[in-house]
Structure 1
Amino acid sequence: MYPNLTLIVGGDERSEGSAGTLRLTDPSDGSELTIAPRAGRAEALEAARAAEQGAAEWAALSALERSKIMRRAADIMRAQADDAARVMSMEQGKPLAEARGEWLGSADLLDWFAEEGRRVYGRIVPSRAPNIQIQVLKHPVGPVAAFTPWNFPAWNTMQKVAPALGAGCPVVIKPASDTPGTAWLIGKALLQAGLPAKAISVIWGATSELSDTLIKAPEIHKVSLTGSTRVGRIVAAQAGEALKKVTMELGGHGAVIIAADADLDHLIPLAVQWKFRNCGQVCVSPTRFIVDASIHDEFVRRFAEKARELKVGKGTQDGTQMGPLTSASGLGTVMDMVDDAVGKGAKVETGGARIGDSGYFYEPTILSGMTTDMLAMNEEPFGPLALVIRVNSLDEALAEANRLPVGLGSYLFTSSMTTAHRVQKELRTGMLGVNHFALALPETPFGGVRDSGFGSEGGSEGIEAYLTTMTVTTMMI
């Protein structure tokens, strides 16, 4: 049921790649999904050159015509939702319901930026002289290299593709080698909808080789990455050598401040749902639960009780609420972090062990008694691991939330507007959810501060990243 993948280079499908082949496996049991062609430097260069040719054709279309093609692609995606969700679940591991929701949300992103592209306005600046007109115009930046991760292979791809296309820019997509099928389906839907062939490429292979080639290619004018802070520094430095525009959505370590007046009846089910969705492999996953001492014990007890109710299993099985981690390395990281924390005095409230010996399953895990010398408190776990810290005041809570040099998604649960206003002012984060965990919408900017990157995806800010500004002054003669 998994498709036979082909590289897409300037709209052309290739069943062979210059770098050989790639074996794709199901993270739930290690079984082979397919053998896919693997792109190398040759395909990357060809995709960049095709994008340069496609730029003229795509940008020459009116914003209305571009919008029609994008919306047609969104409708095609919606019709494919069930099949696409199964492909995503097979290659990434997440439950079908989550995969289907992500796919449909990605279609909504495409719809939204189809219309946002029609609202790319310049402006008239009042002149100082009666015979001078001053205009500010917006133009597409040009071909884009989009590097996307494996944890949300549809949403993170579309966060880059949709605003780029809406602005009039062609895109070369380099998806993670663990999950190329989802991005491939997106590329196919766009081509089916009428996107000019040279305006889209989807290639995968050795990350360092493809990224190095695309970033250095003179045809590429903009680089967008979702990845770790370490990789972000490398990519930003490479792009900076050529003064190329970049958007970086990098790592986080989601702090959740739980004040003494938090409504636990409201919080507990949400905490379990959002902490363990996608097996915790979410850049804005709530991770450090910073809990006021007066409600700490009750919170931990109820949080653990609710987490034990989760049904863990293969993503394609009915009723599964949490699937496996996507890779052996991810599983190993979580296991090492739990061992380190327990060895330094943390208490396992629930979970704490691998499930079986087939696939990359790990129990939904909650640790209490966390201290700042523990590995998981300083490096993003990116797995089904919740860390609980007891604090005695809001001052302590803010100090812990701001301790790390990252700031992507953070959360606050309180019944006090005074507390909410203070946290909004003092918490160093790109996004804050107050009494809920939902942050990503097509119409809102998504991005972080400090080591969590720069620039925003989503919202009107998202399309600005794919535009350049031209000032035109005209003397009437």
Structure 2
Amino acid sequence: MTSTAVDVEIVPSYIQDAWWTPAGDVSGTEVRDASTGDLLARVSTDGLDLAAAVEHGRTVGQASLGRLTFHQRALKLKELAQYLNARREVLYEVSHRTGATKIDNMIDIDGGIGVLFTFGSKGRRELPNSQIVVDGPAEVLAKDGSFMGQHIYTRIPGVAVQINAFNFPVWGMLEKLAPAFIAGVPTIVKPATPTGYVAAAAVKLIIESNILPAGSLQLISGSARDLLDHLDYRDAVAFTGSASTANLLKSHPNVAQGGIRFTAEADSLNAAILGPDAVPGTPEFDAYIKSLVTEMTAKAGQKCTSIRRAIVPKDRIQDVADAVRARIEQRVVVGDPRAEGVTMGALASLEQLNDVRAAVQAMVDAGGELAYGTLDAPQVTRADGTVGDSEGAFMSPVLVTWADAEAEAVHSLEAFGPVSSVIGYEDLADAVRLAAMGAGSLVATVATNDPEAARVLVTGIAAHHGRVLVLNREDAKTSTGHGSPVPHLVHGGPGRAGGGEELGGIRSVLHHMQRTAVQGSPNMLTAVTGVWHTGADQNFDDVHPFRKSLAKLKIGDALRSELRQVTLEDITAFANETGDTFYAHTNQEAAAANPFFPGIVAHGYLLLAWGAGLFVEPAPGPVLANYGLENLRFITPVAAGDSIRVTLTAKRITPRETDEYGEVAWDAVLTNQNDEIVATYDVLTLVEK
């Protein structure tokens, strides 16, 4: 191994909007190249003021993020994604030192940048251009409507501390940063020591971009042992790592008693179930083998989502083992990722290699049998293209078979490397039972083209998993894969997997916010939420609200139309013209026999069309387009001879940051001549700024 140098740099931290390294001569923890053993850097936080970092986030970070709306934050994430995307080759080069191949870097670096793009889009598409999220409809708490309740989400007033694992130094950071940033909560990142220098390189690019507001991102490179001492109920901690460390953190007094919001993504013995119909030669069997080998070798198996338990029909254990062997021997080349043709790199460190070897040996001692691979150091492709021994943390892929499918070790011991086990099941119920013995997992795959088998297996294992992939011939080529979480969907799982929900689209944004029930009058709820509530003041002035641009339109601006009478001739003509001759609109005797109708009644869509005619302003103006209706309900039928009118009120105004228009949702209420509500709905329009 390369001799230790004395002038190796310390991996810097980024604290209080400045780069920081320890003063004086600090030895620190050594970090080495995973493939060569060369000393790369040292890591130390000796003298780092963690209390000051937390306070900086709570003050400067909270203030700078608080000046932005959800949409403005989302646009900054998009801008940051574009900036990093143009410089990802810089991160590739640094990441190769961790043992990551080109494909591994695409998962980690491109995947992390993709998360920023996704949240940059979802934040603008699914959240209001404001700082409060209104959750669900208002609850009327008084008969006269003067007292109501409304749930809202507001950001937590502290910091989001993100303690990340060594396997994904970029994706692991960005998948947590993105939802916290959208919510408006400043982040303190604590990466794992062996690969933290890659996270530091990414943070360096982020800071150089000058896109994020002051205090919104801080980085701790090294130990942060007393960090939780400085946190309280205002703060959130998201941890990824071992279950033992997660349990230690959860026992901290400030978590157990002080109210810190704590989520964990921990050990996960993920399963892949091969359906009874997936015999060799079927697309499902082929897709299953491809997925299993991919998950064994991508990131050298160092993925929290890797397949650890291949659960297959008992009579197919040998078929699976043979197919895995053939695919590994055909496609997998172990070596330095900087060498051409290498498909699986080293583990992140020699310590990690020793841990994985020890776990495999424990499996063998517990009854497992090596069906493929060895614990001996493999011959590898070096950076110069030669093949031979290496001082790096290399290991061959290992497949373990078990005669006893219920052996405790296969369901409790995770070898966090290129290792998977194969066990056999009797029937679908047995497969479900074996999958559940993992005691909670992040993800499972079900490979079958049998709809009934898919239904039984998915419904049987769903409560034990955060995500289930159903793999068959229809989606084998388009599936993102067993081990690839997507930012749109939940990434997390129950039980052993930690019990948290990372990612999950806007759900993960709301994890960084507090849900509060606000009670008050319609006017007060309108003032608090920025959304008009039924019963609040309305402004019926002489200017048609459709003649107002966003610069002039205010919440509560309203229009009340004149009455329009509905005749039998109108109903009959609409039925004949549209072909909607449902008996309630055409047959007096049948309609009268229906308990909901007094006789022939007007079509609901006729009333909607007339409602539009009653509120529309025909001349060109600020309203550019009607793009839909929401929450439509028909309440009181309208018979021939009745009349209707519409009351239209500006309910929600959402200006766009990047366009010269915005969305306006209008509360529309149709009433009859007796002021009874006929229908309620929201009209959605695009309006010029």
Tell me the TM-score normalised to structure 1 length. Answer: 0.92
**More displaced, 196-205 or 38-47?**
38-47
Query: 2:446 pairs with 392, 396, 412, which one?
Result: 412
In the alignment, which residue of structure 1 is the partner of 2:92? 85
Aligned twin of 1:465: 511
Q: Distance in 2 between matches of 1:449 and 1:377?
A: 15
CA–CA distance in 2 between the matches of 1:219 and 1:44?
17
Matched, 1:205 2:185: no
* Cα separation, partners in 2 of 1:339 and 1:473, compared to 1, 3 Å: closer
Q: 1:221 aligns with which of 215, 235, 250?
A: 235
Measure the CA separation in 2 of the matches of 1:219 and 1:394.
45
Once the 2 structures are TM-superposed, how far is the Cα of residue 274 of structure 1 from its aligned partner? 2.1
1:272 aligned onto 2:284 = no
Conserved 8 A contact 1:17-1:43 = no
Contact kept, 8 Å, 1:69 with 1:193, in 2: the verdict is no
Summarize the Cα distance change of 1:415–1:102 in structure 2 as closer, same or farther, 3 Å threshold: same
Corresponding residue SS for 1:265:
helix
Q: Cα distance 1:240–1:345, how it changes in 2: closer, same or farther (>3 A)?
A: closer
Tell me the secondary structure at the aligned position of residue 368 of structure 1: strand
> Per the alignment, in what secondary structure is the counterpart of residue 502 of structure 2?
coil
Report the equivalent of 2:153. 138
Alignment correspondent of 2:304: 283
Q: Which residue of 2 aligns with 1:153?
A: 169
Structure 2 CA distance for partners of 1:6 and 1:305, relative to 1, 3 Å: same
Q: Which residue of 284, 308, 313 corresponds with 2:335?
A: 313
| C-alpha distance in structure 1 between counterparts of 2:352 and 2:500, whole Å | 27
The counterpart of 1:333, out of the listed 350, 355, 369, is 355
Whole-angstrom CA distance in 1 between matches of 2:234 and 2:350: 34
Separation of aligned partners in 1, 2:45 and 2:79: 29
Residue aligning to 2:67? 60
In the alignment, what sits opposite 1:162? Answer: 178
SS at the partner of 1:107? helix
Tell me the secondary structure at the aligned position of residue 163 of structure 1.
helix
Residue number among 238, 243, 246 corresponding to 1:232 in the alignment: 246
Instruction: Tell me which structure has the larger Cα radius of gyration.
Output: 2
Give deviations 1:372-426, integer Å, cap 9, x for gaps.
4464542111111121112222232222211232322112112211111111221
Partner letter of residue 397 of structure 1?
Answer: A
Distance 1:325 1:132 in 2: 61
Write the letter of the residue equivalent to 1:197: A
Q: Partner of 1:359 in structure 2?
A: 392
RMSD: 2.4
Rounded Cα–Cα distance in structure 1 between residues aligned with 2:77 and 2:88: 17
Distance 1:373 1:212 in 2: 39
Question: 2: distance between equivalents of 1:96 and 1:135?
Answer: 50
CA distance in 2 between partners of 1:232 and 1:6 (Å): 25
Equivalent in the alignment of 2:386: none
Q: Which runs of 5+ in 1 are unaligned?
A: none
Deviations 1:234-284 (A, max 9, x none): 222322321111221111011111122113223222221122111111111
Q: Which residue of 1 aligns with 2:574?
A: none
Aligned pairs for 1:341-420 within 5 A: 341-353=363-375, 354-355=377-378, 356=389, 358-371=391-404, 372-373=406-407, 375-420=409-454
Q: Deviations over 1:80-131 (max 9, x none)?
A: 11110221221x2121232134211111211222344443431451423333
Question: Is contact 1:367–1:386 with CA below 8 Å preserved after alignment?
Answer: yes
| 1:211 Cα deviation from its structure 2 partner | 4.4
Distance 1:280 1:351, change over 3 A: same
Pair 265,64 (structure 1): closer, same or farther in 2 beyond 3 Å = closer
Query: Which of 45, 65, 71 lines up with 2:51 in the alignment?
Result: 45
Q: Are the aligned partners of 1:147 and 1:175 in contact in 2 as well (CA < 8 Å)? A: yes
Indicate conservation of the 8 Å contact 1:327/1:360, yes or no.
Answer: yes
How far apart, in 2, do the equivalents of 1:162 and 1:102 lie?
15
1:15–1:384: structure 2 CA closer, same or farther, 3 Å change rule? same
Classify the secondary structure of the residue corresponding to 1:13: strand
On the 8 A contact 2:305/2:442 being kept in 1, the answer is yes
8 Å contact 2:466–2:492 — kept in the other structure? yes
Amino acid at match of 2:239: L
Which of residues 119, 133, 144 in structure 2 aligns to 1:113?
119
Correspondence for 2:325: 304
Query: Which residue of structure 2 aligns with residue 245 of structure 1?
Result: 261
CA distance in 2, matches of 1:214, 1:299: 46
Deviations for 1:42-87, whole angstroms, at most 9, x for unmatched residues? 3322211110111122122222322222211111110111110221
Matching of residue 256 in structure 1 with residue 276 in structure 2: no
Confirm or deny: 8 A CA contact 2:310 2:422 kept in the other structure: yes
The Cα of 1:215 is off from its aligned counterpart by: 5.1
| Secondary structure of the structure 2 residue equivalent to 1:443 | coil
Aligned length, in residue pairs: 471
Please, which runs of 5 or more residues in structure 2 have no aligned partner? 1-7, 128-132, 279-283, 379-388, 472-480, 525-689
Whether the 8 Å contact between 2:368 and 2:403 is mirrored in structure 1 is yes
SS at match of 1:430: strand
Whether the 8 Å CA contact 2:411–2:437 is kept in 1: the answer is: no
By how many angstroms is 1:20 displaced?
Answer: 5.5
- Aligned mates of 2:233, 2:425 — CA distance in 1: 52
The one-letter amino acid of 1:442's match is P
Matched, 1:125 2:138: yes
Q: Is the 8 A contact 2:293 2:324 kept in 1?
A: yes
CA distance in 1, matches of 2:85, 2:436: 40
Q: CA deviation at 1:323?
A: 0.7
Relative contact order, CA 8 A, sep 6+: which one is greater? 1
Between the aligned partners of 1:135 and 1:154, the Cα distance in structure 2 is: 39
Work out whether residues 300 and 418 of structure 2, in 8 Å CA contact, stay in contact via their aligned partners in 1.
yes
| 8 Å Cα contact 2:367/2:407 also seen in 1 | no
Q: 2:100 aligns with which of 94, 99, 103?
A: 94
Equivalent residue number for residue 441 of structure 1 = 486
Q: Residues 264 and 125 from structure 1, CA distance in 2 versus in 1: closer, same or farther, beyond 3 angstroms?
A: same
Report the CA distance between 1:193 and its aligned residue. Answer: 3.7
